[in-house]
Amino acid sequence: MNTKESNMRSLNWPFLSGREIYIERADGIYLHTKDGQAIIDAAGGAIVVNVGHGRERIADAVAAATRDYSYVVPPWMTPSREAMLTALSDWLPESLTRVHCTSGGTEANEAAMKIALHYQQAIGDTDRTRIIGRSIGYHGTTLATASISGHPGRKKGLEKALPAFPVVDTPYPLRCPLGSHHSDCGSYYADLLRDVIESEGPETIAGYLAEPITGSSGGAIVPPEDYWPRVRSICDEYGILLIMDEVMTGFGRTGLDFGFQHWDFEPDILISGKGLAGGYAPLGGVFAREAIGSAIENAGYQVMFNTFGAHPAACAAAAEVLNILREEDLVNTSRDQGAYFHNALNDAFAGHPNVAEVRGRGLFAAIEVVANTESLEKFPVDAAVSGKIVVNGLKNGVFFYGGGTGEIRDIICMGPPLTITEDEIDVVVSTLRKSVDEVIAAQ
Ligand SMILES: Cc1ncc(COP(=O)(O)O)c(C=O)c1O
């Protein structure tokens, strides 16, 4: 899109040319384009808008913070930061007492990695300088967070420059080498983590960074029941910090407060973003155990703030978002409407020759489209099937979130506002079926 219409110099937006869509207004689950089309936002933007669009109350809180104290350096308290912390105290596990806020998920992941490294130095484990990442996953755009991401598509052209991290396979039950959804799948993947730790040298590993339910890179991949408890005990055995990236899965998205709560364990560090301020302002959060914060403090290390971390207006938005989620019981809604959503998706794609699986939890769902559901053979990359489904969905009035990593494909993700009704879910599901079928028919 460029600015030719006015007499301004023409500037290119976005940086790289792409689809030109102009959204003028949004309310509830709808995006309204400049030319009058209403689009259902089944992706909640980038799986962000948990409380829906157009909440006056949040806009008012952001305006008040902006008017009353505009900018205040991050470590100082403001009424909006106090309100956010009060709200957060009802969400975070008891064990996570230290709070550091950034301006987004990437910065929060970067900060969490540094906090893990600092902690190991502070307690005298000075050789623990590496963090294990995963084969499928996404943690951000900086050199370090892109490097540790299991997302080849987003590393293209940078491979030679990115620092290396140890990598373990992401649990992927559909494609488990023991057999699809094999009963030993959880222990298989947990053992792979042990193997990587052993082969890299346990004394060199500071942490393991992972999403509890793999986000758009894998398409809402839920690990087997015993995976996380096994991983937790492996991390404890080797003195490795377990760092959960809940940027996409946090604050009700999966039908519980946090994604990790689908299993019986707790992380050492929790990372959030996206749904924390519901898309009304840029904000990320890092929440750590008390012992981690106090060790870093005692060692005299810095946890440096980003200038715009914990921005007062963003904290005001977060406080309102978190309160709305509680007042309207939207986490339980995500669980219940999520069950309806998954049933509807499973019905719509039962026996479909090109949909290998519907997966996810709560109002976070994805389908994996394949050339053959028996062999799980994929469509060629060049066919760009998921991209075409997203384009087709938009034409049919619904925004779906294309996922995958280039190697992992063809993934379509959905994460609508948690306020979505059953009738609206029916429209999303029937539109997805239609959009998939039209694209497949043209292959
Ligand atoms: C799991 C996860 N971590 C980190 C990020 C990066 O967050 P941001 O885009 O806010 O920097 C994302 C963004 O999609 C994400 O899904």
| 3-state secondary structure at position 238 | helix
DSSP-derived secondary structure for 240-262: -EEEEE-TTTTTTTTSSSSGGGG
CA dihedral 21→407→129→116, nearest 10 degrees, is 50
pLDDT, tens only, 368-425: 999 999 999 999 999 999 999 999 999 999 999 999 999 999 999 999 999 999 999 9
359-382 per-position pLDDT tens digit: 999 999 999 999 999 999 999 999
Atom of ligand 1 nearest to the CA of 282: 10
CB-hemisphere CA count at 13 Å for 337?
25
The b-or-e profile of 386-417 (16+ CB within 10 A means b, else e) is: bebbbbbbbebbbbbbbbbbeebbbbbbbbbb
Eight-state DSSP code of residue 143: H
| Six token digits for residue 95 | 């064990």
Determine whether the shortest distance from the Cβ of 139 to ligand 1 is under 6 A: yes
| Mean pLDDT to the nearest integer, 45-53 | 98
Q: Is the CB of 215 under 6 A from ligand 1?
A: yes
Q: What is the distance between the alpha carbons of residues 45 and 387, in angstroms, rounded to a whole number?
A: 16
Residue 248 Cβ < 6 Å to ligand 1:
yes
DSSP letters along 38-63, please?
A: EEE-TTHHHHT-TT-B--HHHHHHHH
Q: How far is ligand 1, taken at its centre, from the CA of residue 215, in Å?
A: 9
- Indicate which residue's Cα is closest to atom 3 of ligand 1: 139
Mean pLDDT of the chain: 97
CB burial of 62-78 (b: ≥16 within 10 Å; e: otherwise) equals beebeeeeeeeebeeeb
Compute the distance between CA of residue 149 and CA of residue 159 in angstroms, rounded to an integer.
12
- Please report the pLDDT score of residue 102 as a whole number: 98
Note the Cα 331 to chain centre separation in Å. 16
Q: Give the ligand 1 atom nearest the CA of 140.
A: 6
- Segment 109-129 mean pLDDT: 98
CB 105 within 8 A of CB 273: yes
Query: Residues with Cβ < 8 Å from 372, sequence gap 6 or more?
Result: 353
Count of CA atoms in the C-beta half-sphere (13 A) of 203:
4
- Looking from the CA of residue 107, the nearest atom of ligand 1 is 11
Q: How far is the CA of 403 from the centre of ligand 1 (A)?
A: 13
What is the CA(105)–ligand 1 centre distance, in A? 5
- 3 has a pLDDT exceeding 90: no
The Cα–Cα gap between 51 and 277 comes to 9
pLDDT value of residue 166: 98
Quick: pLDDT tens for 202-255: 999 999 999 999 999 999 999 999 999 999 999 999 999 999 999 999 999 999
Cα(29) to centroid(ligand 1), Å: 21
Per-residue model confidence (pLDDT) at position 198: 98
User: Is the CB of 106 inside a 6 Å radius of any atom of ligand 1?
Assistant: yes
- Chain centroid to CA 173: 19
pLDDT tens digits along 23-46: 999 999 999 999 999 999 999 999
pLDDT for position 18: 78
Average pLDDT over residues 340-348: 98
pLDDT of 226 = 98
CA of 143 to the centre of ligand 1 (A): 14
Q: Is the CB of 410 under 6 A from ligand 1?
A: no
Q: Which residue in the block uniquely carries the two structure tokens 């900086």? A: 142
Which atom of ligand 1 has the smallest separation from the CA of 217?
Answer: 16
Which residue's alpha carbon is at the smallest distance from atom 10 of ligand 1? Answer: 105
Instruction: State mean pLDDT over 342-354.
Output: 98
- How does strand 364-369 pair with strand 411-414? antiparallel
The position carrying tokens 């669009």 is 53
Average the pLDDT over 166-193 and give the result. 98
Report the separation in Å between the CA atom of 5 and the middle of ligand 1, taken as the mean of its atom positions. Answer: 34
Give the pLDDT confidence of 266-310 residue by residue, as tens digits: 999 999 999 999 999 999 999 999 999 999 999 999 999 999 999
Confirm or reject: Cβ of 46 under 6 Å from ligand 1: yes
Q: Is the CB of 255 under 6 A from ligand 1?
A: no
pLDDT of 5 over the 60 cut: no
Q: Say if ligand 1 is within 6 A of residue 154 CB.
A: no
Domain annotation for the chain: domains and CATH numbers: 23-54+329-441 (3.90.1150.10), 56-327 (3.40.640.10)
pLDDT of residue 297: 98
Q: Compute how many other C-beta atoms are within 10 angstroms of the C-beta atom of residue 253.
A: 31
| pLDDT recorded at residue 1 | 55
> Pick from 54, 47, 27, 51: which is nearest to 39 by CA?
27
Residue 19 pLDDT: 72
> Hey, which of 217, 248, 364 would you mutate to test ligand 1's pocket, going by the most ligand atoms within 8 Å of its Cβ?
248
Note the pLDDT of residue 224. Answer: 98
CA 62 to CA 72: how far, in whole Å? 14
Atom 7 in ligand 1: residue holding the nearest Cα: 105
Contact 273, 283 (CB under 8 A): yes
CB within 8 Å of 7: residues ≥ 6 apart: none
Burial class (CB in 10 A: 0-12, 13-18, 19+), 339: middle
Decide if 267 contacts 242 (C-beta within 8 A). Answer: yes
- pLDDT at position 20 is 81
% the chain with pLDDT above 90 = 95
Residue 8 pLDDT greater than 80, yes or no: no
